Amino acid sequence: MHARTLPKISTLLFLLALLVYLAVRLIALDQFPIYFFSDEAVQAVRAADFVRDGLRSETGEFLPTYFKNSYQYNLGPSVYIQILPTLLFGKQIVVTRAVAAIFSVLAALAAGLTFEWVFPRKSGWLAILLLSVMPAWFLHSRTAFETALAVSFYSAFWLAYALYRFRSRGYIYLAILFAALAFYSYSPAQVVVSLTLAAFFLNDLHYHWQNRKLMLKVALLSLLLLTPYLRFIWLHPGEVQYHLQIVGSVWTSDVGFLQKLTASGLEYVRALNPYYWFFTNPVDLPRHVMKGYGHLWLPALPVIAIGLGNCLANLRSSRHRLILIALLAAPAGAALAQLGITRALFMVFPATLLAVQGLLTVADWVARTRWAATFQNKRARMLLPLVVFTGLLAANTSMLVDALRNGPLWFTDYGLYGMQYGARQVFGKIKKDLAADPHIKFVLSPAWANGTDILERYFFADPVPFELASIDSYTRDYRPLDKDTVLILPPNEHDDMLASGKFQNITTRKELRNPDGSPAFYFVQLEYVDDIAEIFAGEQAARRNLVRTDALLQDGSLAIVHYSTLDMGSITDLFDGDALTVARTWESNPFTLVFEFPKPRTVNQLLVRVGGEPTRIELELYPDMNDVPMHLGVSTQENPNPRDVTIDLNLTQPLKKAIVRVYNENEPEPAHVHLFEIRFLPDLE
């Protein structure tokens, strides 16, 4: 009876732990995290578009490997898993997040089954509850961010490989499938999965050789699963490098290989620093942390250290080496760019395994002491797991209650550079007011969150029944304002509106409040002041004035440059050889640059790096100041990424002066024009 009772208790605790895990993920899912971010909304938006467009992406690819988030391709399985729920239930925060939370059970099962099947100690429930209470996992597994999905697939991949190694060879197919899903889920996972696979191969090389016929089939399956990635690279050349540029990876910079390796090594070491994981630190954005908590549960630190020591002491054991491989691979994705919890979230899985390993090591120590007899009787052996289970249940419950009760007040910067709070609230209010009065012309500022164009399509069907525009669009140029127009402004734009002096008869219809009671959005009606036409005319004239400076070009030569007034970047950003630095006009379209060369120079080509908008470049070239200039022009179509435009000049004489005008053809003036680089070729020797 004794031998049968303990397995029954273990099984019961395992199932109860899974229920606790799910409850902690799903309770009040739309209330914490307090934001609903565009990176969450985009999953369901892309899923709906995919179905609408006949299983094609926004660029027309059938069953695409990746979907665009906004400006880069980094969404894969996270979109596909949202298709059926979106079709069945529509776009709802609870549904979108619940889908991701349910998939995160894969990580809980992987951790739990590791200590049921790989290290057969009947302690799987312990791993599930410990994973659940890891703060970084608690937070991110309650969101629809693709990082948690990648970690879930990675954990399942790790377990399936361990089962292949120690239970049945057939699990290798499941391991490769989950490895592919993790690889496609999140770009940092590509590095983590690749390193893990390489380490697994070397770790168990003898075992693989014994099963080399099976390995041949695995290699063929791997090539098949890699095909979508190869297709993506073929269709989107340069996209991987562009993505690395976006995340600020040192590997796209001009520094030497050794410097790149050193920088990545330092990021890797930072990602292994216990202080980063167990204590609060300023590395991550507030919306990715829980105030007062480290990324890993601080009470688990001692047993994680003991578990690590146990694995190192058993380094000859392949089982223990697998945990160390996961531990060492986890920071690799973050090291490629810059440390951040979303890139390094893979650490929660090996940390959980180490914590359980540490607890079991302590239990083994106790079993060898003089107090061991106390724990050998049947009642104590049954009671102890229940006590530990109750303690971890209390820890999970406490964290959930703390997050729901106090989380809204942890960080009080609710705007663009903080929590980006208010999507559910403001779009819900717009929907309610439009239902009551369809004639209201709402104009919502997009400047309180990233990707508000995605958020509006999440909460409303196409066509969206309101406009996205900031107060700047009304203060920089005349736009009609009638009695039905209601502007919805965050506090900073509300202050800008009052300070501009361009409006009168301002009425605040209502306010939405942040959790701390401060204003989140103002719903205002207003009119222009009577002399607004004269004010705008004066500002337009000021915008068109050119600024003069002496500038060093890429080759070190000097030029006198007259250029349009800027509101972002500096004129030197155009000559620094960095394709990512940008200068932007203060609403002047075209971006005008006049180059005067103290010494005439031979120029064969002009290279201009422009933004993604449809662009027109016009040139006036003066071999001699007194001659009639040579005129050239070239147009480029819209493109999702910045690109280089190279213009052959066909000059027969050295160039004395050049006027370059770059037009954003998407919108008339006033409009911003972005420029990244201008280069006269060939460079001077």
Q: What is the pLDDT of residues 40-68, one digit of tens each?
A: 999 999 999 999 999 998 888 999 999 98
The CA–CA distances, whole Å, from 579 to 252, 609, 674 equal 10, 8, 12
Q: What b/e readout covers 611-621, taking b as 16+ CB neighbours within 10 angstroms? A: bbbebebbbeb
- Local structure of 675: helix, strand or coil: strand
* pTM for this predicted structure: 0.83
β-partners of residue 487 are 443, 524
Q: Over the stretch 84-116, which tens digit does the pLDDT of each residue have?
A: 999 999 999 999 999 999 999 999 999 999 999
Domain ranges of the chain: 2-298+317-352+370-401, 423-538, 544-681
Least confident of 24-33, 89-98, 180-189, 595-604: 595-604
Which residues does 437 contact at the CB level (< 8 Å), separation at least 6?
Answer: none
In contact, 630 and 593? CB cutoff 8 Å: no
pLDDT computed for residue 3 by the predictor: 46
Q: Over the stretch 531-556, which tens digit does the pLDDT of each residue have?
A: 999 998 888 787 778 999 999 998 88
Rounded to the nearest integer, the mean pLDDT of the chain is 91
Query: Given the structure tokens 């999440």, which residue do they identify?
Result: 458
Alpha carbon distance 125, 21 (integer Å): 10
In contact, 548 and 560? CB cutoff 8 Å: yes
pLDDT computed for residue 670 by the predictor: 74
**DSSP character string of 171-184:** HHHHHHHHHHHHHH
Half-sphere exposure of 411 (CA within 13 A, CB side): 22
β-partners of residue 521 are 512
Band of pLDDT at residue 300, cut at 50, 70 and 90: very high
Q: Over the stretch 447-464, which tens digit does the pLDDT of each residue have?
A: 999 999 999 999 999 999
Mean pLDDT (whole number) for 201-213: 94
pLDDT computed for residue 372 by the predictor: 61
CA angle at residue 671 from 443 to 665, to 5 degrees?
Answer: 110
Q: Is the pLDDT of residue 5 over 60?
A: no
Mean pLDDT (whole number) for 620-643: 82
Mean pLDDT (whole number) for 263-269: 88
Mean pLDDT (whole number) for 675-681: 93
Alpha carbon distance 335, 393 (integer Å): 35
Q: Over the stretch 486-523, which tens digit does the pLDDT of each residue have?
A: 999 999 999 999 999 999 999 999 999 999 999 999 99
Q: Over the stretch 317-329, which tens digit does the pLDDT of each residue have?
A: 999 999 999 999 9
Which residues does 457 contact at the CB level (< 8 Å), separation at least 6?
Answer: 41, 45, 464
Q: Is the pLDDT of residue 640 over 80?
A: no
Beta pairing, strands 655-664 & 591-601: antiparallel
Q: Over the stretch 464-474, which tens digit does the pLDDT of each residue have?
A: 999 999 998 89
CA angle at residue 499 from 494 to 505, to 5 degrees?
Answer: 70
pLDDT computed for residue 2 by the predictor: 47
CATH of domain 544-681: 2.60.120.260
In contact, 143 and 31? CB cutoff 8 Å: no
In contact, 560 and 550? CB cutoff 8 Å: yes
Band of pLDDT at residue 1, cut at 50, 70 and 90: very low
Alpha carbon distance 27, 636 (integer Å): 51
